[in-house]
Amino acid sequence: MKLTKEHQEEIENQQSQNNNTKRVISPELEKILFEAIPALDHGFVRVIDYMGDDTSIVQAARVSYGKGTKQVSTDSGLIKYLMRHWHSTPFEMCEIKYHIKLPIFIARQWIRHRTANVNEYSARYSILDKEFYLPTSENLATQSTSNRQGRGSVLEGKQAEDVLKLLKNDAERTYANYETMLNERYDGSIIDENKKGLARELARMNLTLNTYTQWYWKTDLLNLMNFLRLRADHHAQYEIRVYADIMLDTLKKWVPITFDAFMDYRVGGTEISSKGKLILQKLIKGEAISIEKSGLSKREWNELMEAFELKDKIV
């Protein structure tokens, strides 16, 4: 990850601040505030600002004065109750803002989560960085035969080399054409004094989707957890999962009690249908069960067996 001089100066200025506040703060999150945490080859995640902590959730749930209760165990019990019973509004009282640098194709997937305030770097106004995402060899894989939006076996040898070469050459060629159309290079120099450059809003359309963009992304705690539950999951695309894992760590630093409840009830827990519940009840009673008589589809059945590690226990 390479930071521009402007980014480095901004981070140094922000981290040198020494502000007093009467608001609640999260000491562990304060330690990494404004820091650029590397993601992929040229990306990063930065926590820019936040509002509230675990006690803010408790306070909102009780509509009380001050910082909630003084016993952490009591606050923990209430937050677990809220998480367990899907009470959402108290978690909406906390907010966080990130500065994120990411490949365009991941940004287009990310923006499907329409629960945040987003302000993206404008390629109509400025020239995009000359940086492209190139996967490492272990992340080059074939199309999955069982999942239309997943990966299969890893590419090896010359085939992997050829793919990486194509990705790199295409990105570099289209960026060179981008500079030519603009009549301006990435460093700001003019290519030909006698030519006019194409409008930036038009020249950008030629760039590859692995070009990096940046945005500020602000959301509340509830919607952050909804995002992380999907994107930090092992089924999620590797590239977006890298960012989600970093943000999961910032969640732990920000609201540690909520993080524990989230990992327990959302990430580590599972949901079952009424039919699935009946199957488990029969299993506990020692009754015989089968997919034919379960009332579940094959996919539902497999998901239930996998969730409770029952595949090898049913004949």
In this structure, are residues 178 and 206 in contact, taking their beta carbons and an 8 Å threshold? yes
Residue 29: helix, strand or coil by DSSP? helix
Any catalytic annotation for residue 231?
A: yes
- Alpha carbons 241 and 239: distance in angstroms, whole number: 5
28 CB neighbour count, 10 Å cutoff: 13
What are the beta bridge partners of residue 98?
47, 217
| Spatial contact of 9 and 209, defined as CB atoms under 8 Å apart | no
- Token pair belonging to 6: 């402007």
State the Cα–Cα distance between residues 158 and 166, nearest whole angstrom: 12
Helix axes 274-284, 298-307, angle to 10 degrees: 50
Say if residues 177 and 200 touch (Cβ distance below 8 Å). Answer: no
List 231, 241, 266, 299, catalytic entry:
231
Of 33, 41, 42, the closest CA to residue 10 belongs to 33
CA 74 and chain centroid, separation: 31
How many CB atoms lie under 10 A from the CB of residue 12?
Answer: 10
Catalytic residue IDs: 231
